[in-house]
A and B are shown apart, each in its own frame.
Chain A
Amino acid sequence: MSIHSASANTASHLAEAPYSPPRARFWGFEYIPAERQLLHSFLSNWLVLGALAMLILLVFIAVFAHWVAPVDPLEQTLKARLTPPIWNERGISPYYLGTDRLGRDVLSNIIYGLRISLLVGFFAVGISMIIGLTLGLTAGYKRGFWETFIMRAVDVQLSLPLIMVALCFMVIFGQGLWKMIIVLAIAGWAEYARTVRGTVLSIREKEYVESAHALGFGPWTIMVKYLLINSITPVLVLSAVQVPRVIILEATLSFLGLGVPVTTPSIGLAIARGYQVLFSGSWWASIFPGLALMLLVACINIVADWLRDALEPRSREQV
């Protein structure tokens, strides 16, 4: 006697109708089926690889600018003023992307400008990372007055918008490549310090630090061995976000004339020069530099997103 026959006398008008799942309506939250998940990760992996490859290419171009750029970016050829890009009928080689108001080649300025962007990006972020890391580590480990002091400074720094701080300092100290790098580094240390201190605070309570203490390891050893290594992940993630910000900030400052000196090629400066001739229809002088910068920053952002997902995984969707 099976369980089925026992309940056969109850209403069996419910024939097993074929079941079709309801279509996801407009408001519904869709759950991704397995095949689409696969496609999704496949595509995004390819995207990250592509971005990484492009990034390496851009760095390569920047480093070997001297050999890659067709013309000296600072050279003014007044005869070839405002020539359009090469595919236009009035375009002249080797000014592949056209020239600006004073006959400077747009492409060469972009190449050298990218070099400056990358330089500023990595140095400024690198310096602020070192400062922030050191201060954050010591603040979190030593605690007491030192920590309070540093954290107050962090609060003050972070209470003001980055661009405002950078602007004011540049107004005071004037133009200059290294001045700008220092200024941007000073403007950026606070976030690092705060992040690192947060990590330190959460780690130092963990048992393995306590046992290291008990085993007689000195404070410096503990700091380097455990706290530093554990801070690397959030610091990397933060850097991946800071670099694009700093690069855009450099371009903005240079655009305003408060960044690199006029004799240094910069994307911001190139765009500023292009802006001056905007209404004459010479669009190439301002559009191409911006596109190049956007490409650079977008690639960094893509890699940064991937890095963040890889280093700080969120819990996958539970069934």
Chain B
Amino acid sequence: MDRLLTVRDLKIYFHILAGTVRAVDGVDFHIDQGETVGVVGESGCGKSVTAMALLQLIPMPPGELVGGTAEFEGMDLLRFGSDQIRKVRGNRISMIFQEPMTSLNPVFTIGNQIGEAIELHQGLNPRQAEEKAVEMLDLVGIPDPRRRVKEYPHQLSGGMRQRVMIGMALSCNPALLIADEPTTALDVTVQAQILELMLDLQKKINMSILMITHNLGVIAEVANRVIVMYCGKIVESADVHSIFHQPMHPYTRQLLASVPHLGVDQGRLQEIPGAVPNLYNLPPGCDFHPRCAEAAESCQRRRPELNAMKPGHWVACHRAAGRGA
């Protein structure tokens, strides 16, 4: 499989009145063609910032790109000028967001909004763009697309709006789709439909997906590989099977343990003690050690680095090294 995107040592800090927030602090990962990479973590762990940084959607100031590269199609996305990055947005890399209710402009028609990217990147005139928009609506499974294309967002339900967002994102056949919590705001049944739609379309256009979510169930459903993030760093990275069956980082393990399983009597659900630390006031050494059940002396002193425990399975933990494969 070809490499599509390589992110190296990405560091993004935010300078706010209270201090400097290290939202993303040395993140390395890659995405290959056609694969789905899931990014899991609690709110505030830096997953959304990582994703938005790829398209330069992070306002700077107060944000700052302290370092890192993001190689895509031979160039570094993070150092593109504004004209260059705009050619990538919605065209080679698209993004969909969490809130379908507010992510669409209420005063323009669906056709106008889908067609906007098409006109911009493919140079079609408005009428042609609307035709293509109808095609997209059909593709994402919206019934009676010719009528819908002239309607406004408030006339559609949440699930349909998310389908519209997907249609909008896919209209120019991007190589990578970044999905930031696309199903979190939807009903469970609609969630399943949307995920199925995404997988279906992925196969059709051979597109990669970067799926950001805090929902492990979604990860299990769609991801090929999984990245677990905590406090702006990657703590574990492996294929989906290994993550679920042989998690090596204590955080990953506790995450999995805190999710209820159908049909299994787990007894009392385990919670992770303590709370996520403030990102401008991190504990010394390993970020997770104050809440970790397996913390040792060395965990307070040195920050663990990502090491490959097995081919393709990377963990950032002093204790995991001891455990071995």
Report A's interface with B, CB cutoff 8 A: 1-4, 6-7, 10-11, 14, 16-17, 19, 21-22, 25, 31-34, 37-38, 319
Please judge, given known A-B contacts A3-B308, A319-B14, whether A11 and B74 are in contact too, CB under 8 Å: yes
Which of A2, A7, A31 has a CB less than 8 Å from the CB of B305? A2
Residue of chain A at shortest CB distance from B308: A1
Interface flag for B45 (CB, 8 Å): no
Write out the residue numbers on chain B whose beta carbons fall within 8 Å of the beta carbon of A37. Answer: 17
Write out the residue numbers on chain B whose beta carbons fall within 8 Å of the beta carbon of A6. Answer: 308
Write out the residue numbers on chain A whose beta carbons fall within 8 Å of the beta carbon of B81. Answer: 22
Interface flag for B203 (CB, 8 Å): no
Please judge, given known A-B contacts A1-B308, A2-B305, A14-B69, whether A21 and B8 are in contact too, CB under 8 Å: no
Majority SS at the chain A contact face: loop
Write out the residue numbers on chain A whose beta carbons fall within 8 Å of the beta carbon of B141. Answer: none
Interface residues on B, range: 20 to 34
Q: How far is the CA of A6 from the CA of B8 in the complex (A)?
A: 12
Write out the residue numbers on chain A whose beta carbons fall within 8 Å of the beta carbon of B69. Answer: 14, 16
Max count, chain B CB within 10 A of own CB: residue among A10, A25, A38: A10
Q: Tell whether, in the assembled complex, residue B308 and residue A7 are in contact, meaning their CB atoms are under 8 Å apart.
A: no
Interface flag for B15 (CB, 8 Å): yes
Residue of chain B at shortest CB distance from A15: B69
Mark each residue of chain B from 282 to 325: 1 if its CB lies under 8 Å from any CB of chain A, else 0: 00000000000000000000000111100000100000000000
Give me the 4 closest cross-chain CB pairs, A-B, nearest first: A33-B61, A31-B59, A14-B69, A3-B28
Write out the residue numbers on chain A whose beta carbons fall within 8 Å of the beta carbon of B8. Answer: 4, 7
Q: How far is the CA of A260 from the CA of B279 in the complex (A)?
A: 64
Report B's interface with A, CB cutoff 8 A: 3, 6, 8-9, 14-17, 28, 30, 59-69, 71, 74, 76, 78-79, 81-82, 305-308, 314
Give the shortest distance, in Å, between B231 (CB) and chain A (any CB): 16
Max count, chain B CB within 10 A of own CB: residue among A3, A14, A32, A34: A3
30 residue pairs A–B, Cβ–Cβ below 8 Å: A1-B307, A2-B308, A3-B28, A3-B314, A7-B6, A7-B8, A10-B71, A11-B71, A11-B74, A14-B76, A16-B67, A17-B79, A19-B65, A19-B66, A19-B67, A21-B65, A22-B81, A22-B82, A25-B82, A31-B59, A31-B60, A31-B62, A34-B15, A34-B16, A34-B62, A37-B17, A38-B17, A319-B14, A319-B16, A319-B62
Q: How far is the CA of A19 from the CA of B30 in the complex (A)?
A: 22
Give the shortest distance, in Å, between A115 (CB) and chain B (any CB): 44
Give the shortest distance, in Å, between B64 (CB) and chain A (any CB): 7
Give the shortest distance, in Å, between B26 (CB) and chain A (any CB): 10
Give the shortest distance, in Å, between B44 (CB) and chain A (any CB): 11
Q: Tell whether, in the assembled complex, residue A3 and residue B306 are in contact, meaning their CB atoms are under 8 Å apart.
A: yes
Give the shortest distance, in Å, between B316 (CB) and chain A (any CB): 10
Additional pairs, 5, CB under 8 Å, beyond known A34-B16, A34-B62, A38-B17: A11-B74, A14-B69, A16-B67, A33-B62, A34-B17
Q: Tell whether, in the assembled complex, residue B15 and residue A319 are in contact, meaning their CB atoms are under 8 Å apart.
A: no
Q: How far is the CA of A21 from the CA of B53 in the complex (A)?
A: 13
Residue of chain A at shortest CB distance from B56: A22
Residue of chain B at shortest CB distance from A28: B82
Q: How far is the CA of A12 from the CA of B78 in the complex (A)?
A: 15
Q: How far is the CA of A95 from the CA of B79 in the complex (A)?
A: 69
Q: Tell whether, in the assembled complex, residue A21 and residue B308 are in contact, meaning their CB atoms are under 8 Å apart.
A: no
Give the shortest distance, in Å, between A255 (CB) and chain B (any CB): 43
Give the shortest distance, in Å, between A29 (CB) and chain B (any CB): 8
Q: How far is the CA of A2 from the CA of B68 in the complex (A)?
A: 16
Please judge, given known A-B contacts A14-B69, A37-B17, whether A2 and B64 are in contact too, CB under 8 Å: no
Write out the residue numbers on chain A whose beta carbons fall within 8 Å of the beta carbon of B64. Answer: 21
Q: Tell whether, in the assembled complex, residue B82 and residue A21 are in contact, meaning their CB atoms are under 8 Å apart.
A: no
Residue of chain B at shortest CB distance from A19: B65
Q: How far is the CA of A1 from the CA of B64 in the complex (A)?
A: 30
Q: How far is the CA of A31 from the CA of B63 in the complex (A)?
A: 10
Give the shortest distance, in Å, between A10 (CB) and chain B (any CB): 6
